[in-house]
Amino acid sequence: MNTSARKKAHDNLSDQQHKNIAFFSTRSYEHALFSELLETLNGASDKTINATFFEHPLNASTACCCGFSDVVVFVNDDINRKTIEVLKHCGVKHIALRCAGFNNVDVDAAAKAGITVSRVPAYSPETVAEHTVALILTLNRKTHKAYNRVREGNFNLGGLMGFTLHGKTVGVIGTGKIGQAVIRILLGFGCHVLCFDPHPNSDVTAMGAHYVTLNELLEKSVIVTLHCPLNEQSHHIINAKSIDKMPQGVMLINTSRGGLVDDNAIIKGLKSKKIGYLGLDVYERESELFFSDHSQDIIQDDIFQRLTTFPNVLITGHQGFFTLEALEEIAKITVNNIMTGENAL
């Protein structure tokens, strides 16, 4: 945030010399970044923002946070109608999402309660795009398996054969900021890129990608990657019927939101070998698992556990956004949203 933006932000606090904000689902890396940023801002003015960091998520049973004007939340906090009622009762005026997606917030209920909701619409689309391509390359060239083999002195190449990405057709569903960043990288690899988006963008065609119907994309792409938001239209956009249309051995990548894919259909597709590779950074019921250490627990989610047993499945725990540059940008924009009311939905 530049000096004038910082001044503007502090001027907006004129009726409130001190602002108390509560962070939920906070991990140590975020705590450090936000604390440092707030310390700098508070040092530059007599108006202060006091932050309290909670590790637990925000949901209806943890929402009783009187004394806080703003709550700062993340992807798996559950801000449903009930949570919003409690927040309203406690005097919360603003829900600041420190992420891009907002499928976990009942936006209508918030509006009715007079609570504004802001998000970080773009921090570094390239960060998520690069992780998407990391999943594609790892699944294809099996570097995760090769790493373990070589460490054990096994230099046998059996089972490690990949395919050349150059010249292959890749389907990108959702051509917003992240989808476009993925397309730029894939075109650089020499792939043919087919796209589907209800709102086509001329920048995408200018880059050399082609818009087609969803059916044509599914039929012609050897890799399908998802970059659309989760909403009523896109829920389970990948289901038994759409998998049927894909070529045998297709690679499916989802770094967007878990609810875009029907996991039972995916498991059937993996068992029948229709799906030859699956890369996930998100999972429909990830809130029960992700961002915490469950290595000593008996994981109760049988669908997730089944997915992890396939040799051609690679799952990461929602880390697409996780670079220093992206986190710094998220922290700056979130604090700016709190102070200026920008990026309201």
- Residues lying near ligand NAI in the complex (CB under 6 A) are found at 100-101, 122, 125, 128, 173-179, 196-199, 227-230, 233-234, 237, 255-257, 281-282, 318, 320-321
Q: Quote the least distance from Cβ 314 to ligand NAI, whole Å.
A: 14
**Active-site position among 318, 328, 329, 342:** 318
Task: Identify which of residues 113 and 118 has a Cβ nearer to ligand NAI in the complex.
Answer: 118
CB 133 to ligand NAI: min, Å: 13
> Minimum distance from CB of 4 to ligand NAI (Å)?
27
Catalytic hit among 119, 286, 329, 342: 286
Output the smallest distance, CB 290 to ligand NAI, in A. 10
- The CB-of-237 to ligand NAI minimum distance in angstroms stands at 6
**Residues belonging to the chain:** 345
Closest residue to ligand NAI, judged by C-beta, is: 176
Catalytic residue among 257, 294, 306, 328: 257
Give yes or no: 31 in active site: no
User: Is 257 designated active site?
Assistant: yes
Burial of 236 (0-12, 13-18, 19+ CB in 10 A): middle
**Radius of gyration for the alpha carbons in the chain, expressed in angstroms and rounded:** 22
Contact criterion met (CB below 8 Å) for 218 and 224: yes
Nearer to ligand NAI, 234 or 287 (CB): 234
- Separation of alpha carbons 286 and 303, rounded Å: 11
Q: Which residues pair with 285 in a beta bridge?
A: none
Minimum CB distance to ligand NAI smaller for 9 or for 230: 230
When the beta carbons of 19 and 227 are compared against ligand NAI, the nearer one is 227
Strands 313-315 and 70-73: what pairing? unpaired
Comparison of 188 and 198: residue with beta carbon closer to ligand NAI = 198
Q: How far apart are CA 137 and CA 226, in angstroms?
A: 16
Question: Does the annotation mark 294 as catalytic?
Answer: no
- List the catalytic residues: 257, 286, 318
